[in-house]
Amino acid sequence: MAATLCSKLLPKQGWLPLTQSVRHGSKAVTRHRKPLHIQKQKLLAVTQYIPPAREFPPGAYPSQTKHVQEDNDLTLLMKRELKKLFEDCKMIAVVQNSSSSAEDMMTLRHRLYKHNITVKFFPNKVVRSFLSDSIYCNMGLLFVGPTVMFVSKEPKVKEMLTTLRGSPQMTLLGACIDNTLLSAQGIVSYSKLPSMTVIQGEVVSGLSMLTSHTAYLLQRHPAHLSQLLQQYIKQQSSDGSAEAAPKAEEAT
């Protein structure tokens, strides 16, 4: 019965919806701001508020002008001593002192003094101020914390390293040897090099060997030539005597 009722209510062409959606084209957007007139732009630019520069209270920031502080007499005296030290000594080592007692330091100084190595104490501020105006300016980075200097007129590197092995609280940071800045590893490598006497002996032996070899080569050819000439003369004399003997027999 429901089927027959629905067939009577619906038209023969089929069921049609009551509302239909119709798609329209995109609408024009009218929300863009209109460009300002050129005169209004100029007026706004001229009348724009510029806030004044903020003034900071005095002392809030460090001053840009550097205050040069003059050295006192004690500082000048230590700088002159450092200058003389760098001019006279060929080895200047920087060692960090890690809580070494006075007794250990006295023992270390006595051991180093046996090898003509002296221990010097200077304030790090004075040393850095002196090195900043010298050719050893890169050495100033080593003077941080409690440091001491081992100086000697000759590069006694092996003796210094041997002595430092008995003092574990002393750490070698670097050194200036023969106007060359070396690190701790560079000092160890330098200690493995042969001494200057050995190197000079090797150079002299090499030069003498070359000289003797050159003299041998220069004397070899004349000696060989003289031997050949002597042998040729002997051969000529033996041939002449052999030819003269048959002629004498024929004559008799």
Is 198 domain-assigned?
no
User: Is position 200 within any domain?
Assistant: no
| 120 belongs to a structural domain | yes
Number of domains composing the chain: 1
Q: How far is CA 249 from the centre of its chain?
A: 97
Residue 107, domain extent: 73-192
- 176 in any annotated domain: yes
Q: What is the secondary structure of the chain as a DSSP string? A: -HHHHHHHHS-TT----S------PPPPP--PPPPPPHHHHHHHHHT---PPPPPPPTTSS--SS--PPPP-HHHHHHHHHHHHHHHH-SEEEEEEE-S--HHHHHHHHHHHHTTT-EEE---HHHHHHHHHTSTTGGGGGG--SSEEEEEESS--HHHHHHHHTT-TTEEEEEEEETTEEEEHHHHHHHHTSPPHHHHHHHHHHHHHHHHHHHHHHHHHHHHHHHHHHHHHHHHHHHHHHHHHHHHHHHH-
| CATH number of the domain enclosing 183 | 3.30.70.1730
- What's the pLDDT score for residue 26? 57
1 in a domain, yes or no? no
Confidence (pLDDT) at 203 = 84
Beta carbons within 8 Å of 145's beta carbon, 6+ residues apart: 96, 124
Q: pLDDT tens track of the chain, all 252 residues?
A: 444 544 554 455 555 556 666 555 556 666 777 888 999 999 999 999 888 888 878 777 777 776 667 778 888 899 999 999 998 899 999 999 888 888 888 999 999 999 999 999 999 999 998 998 888 888 888 898 889 999 999 888 899 999 998 888 888 999 999 888 998 899 998 888 877 777 788 888 888 887 777 777 677 777 777 877 888 788 888 776 666 656 555 655
Which pLDDT score is estimated for 151? 93
> In this structure, is residue 134 part of a structural domain?
yes
Residue 56 lies in a domain: no
Specify the pLDDT at position 17: 58
Whole-model pTM: value is: 0.55
96 is a domain residue: yes
User: Who's near 80: CB < 8 A, 6+ residues apart?
Assistant: none
Q: What is the pLDDT of residue 93?
A: 92
**What pLDDT score was predicted for residue 3?**
47
